[in-house]
Amino acid sequence: MPIFLALPYAAYAGAVFTVLSLLALLIVLLLPGLAARRGLVRIAARLFLFLVGMRVRVVNPEHLPAGPCVVVANHASYLDGVVMKAILPARFGFVIKREMNNVPLAGLLLRRIGAEFVDRGKGQRGARDARRVLKAASTGSSLVFFPEGTFSPQPGLLRFHAGAFVSAARANFPVAPVVIRGTRHALPPSRPLPSPGIIEVVHLPAITAVGLPPEEAVAELKNRSRAMILAGLGEPDLQ
């Protein structure tokens, strides 16, 4: 997109995001019931993507398990969470890095829709966060993870952290791998100017590790899901 169009579009997209976020936060603060709050934010995410011309194409939605599961997806842009919120049912909660809890207004909104904040370190707080996520999974909550934990300025798939797969193995949930394409172009990590375009979300067949010992189950789920996402993504392996 030429710069003389990119700047007005970025201003428009930023204004749309700000207005919708504030309206969603206001309603979510007053709305009782977690399911209703999640449903409202889902509508806001869909409306934002529509208004800024980011068309989302969902491929193979039948692969998403109907019951409790753990969804894992590659992470390439700040848009990934918005896209996943827009396309997944309201029963899904998101597991997000703890730093987002301290972002004004965004942290409040995320708390109101039941997001789980985790410390990516291995200290006491990280262990406590991991136990809380495991408890959420054990009560039947479907969860969404970006197991890379962050994204790189260069295209490619980073190494996966084990948290998502520990939760799935302990709760005996299937892992549902997802490939997200197009968000890196729509909002690149290295450039604050967004662009309209097509975003594709591909659901891959869910996997299980039933019958394996816990440590082997975690490794199996992590390695298989990463290999599936890497193959479907078509970007370099940065591990």
Residue 97 confidence (pLDDT)? 83
Average pLDDT over residues 163-190: 93
Average pLDDT over residues 166-177: 92
Reading the block at residue 213, the tokens are 């010992």
Domain boundaries, the chain: 3-233
Architecture of the domain spanning 3-233: 3-Layer(aba) Sandwich (3.40)
Q: pLDDT at residue 28 above 90? A: yes
Average pLDDT over residues 202-225: 94
Higher pLDDT: 187 or 131? It is: 187
Tens-place pLDDT, residues 71-128: 999 999 999 999 999 999 999 999 988 788 778 888 899 999 998 888 765 555 655 7
